[in-house]
């Protein structure tokens, strides 16, 4: 009987973070391009597609680097914020009101990704303070 592998987030400084980063890059790039050119029906322009791929690369690099450095809560919050931002961009951009929706969609996406990053930083700081307090024997 084969043993089941448990799903687990890689440890700090693990080489698996490169694989996770590549998977996040692929996911973010596909979602960004699908929203822009598939769902919204925008005309494909290589320049815009390349910029969205660069954005996906930057986002996945930040997330994977945070995880590789051991900030797994930051990785989780930032990834969740980015995915929530992509969903918000999709929702706002699909509304047919006056032409500003694509701009509002990308701003909502960036805002939610930044909020995810900030929440992750606060969570990492809180976890660090708790670990420090326990080591000092304070509780």
Which has the higher per-residue pLDDT, 1 or 19? 19
pLDDT tens, position by position, 5-35: 778 899 999 999 999 999 999 999 999 999 9
Residues 6+ apart with CB under 8 A from 94: 39, 40, 101
pLDDT tens, position by position, 65-111: 999 999 999 999 999 999 999 999 999 888 775 678 778 889 999 99
Task: Give the confidence band of 56 by pLDDT, cuts at 50, 70, 90.
Answer: very high
Domains of the chain by residue range: 21-135
Neighbours of 134 (CB within 10 A): 10
Q: Is the pLDDT of residue 1 over 80?
A: no
pLDDT (mean) for 128-134? 96
Q: CA 68 to CA 92: how far, in whole Å?
A: 33
Residue-level pLDDT at 15: 95
Residue-level pLDDT at 139: 60
């Amino acid at each position: 009987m084969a043993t089941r592998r448990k799903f687990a987030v890689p440890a700090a400084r693990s080489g698996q973070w490169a694989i996770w980063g590549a998977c996040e890059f692929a996911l973010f790039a596909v979602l960004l391009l699908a929203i822009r050119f598939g769902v919204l029906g925008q005309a494909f322009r290589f320049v815009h597609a390349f910029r969205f791929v660069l954005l996906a690369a930057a986002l996945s690099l930040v997330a994977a680097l945070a995880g590789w450095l051991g900030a797994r809560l930051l990785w989780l919050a930032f990834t969740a914020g980015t995915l929530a931002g992509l969903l918000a961009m999709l929702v706002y951009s699909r509304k047919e009101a006056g032409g500003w929706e694509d701009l509002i969609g990308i701003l909502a996406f960036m805002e939610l990704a930044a909020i995810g990053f900030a929440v992750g930083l606060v969570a990492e700081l809180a976890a660090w303070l708790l670990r420090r307090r326990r080591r000092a024997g304070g509780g």
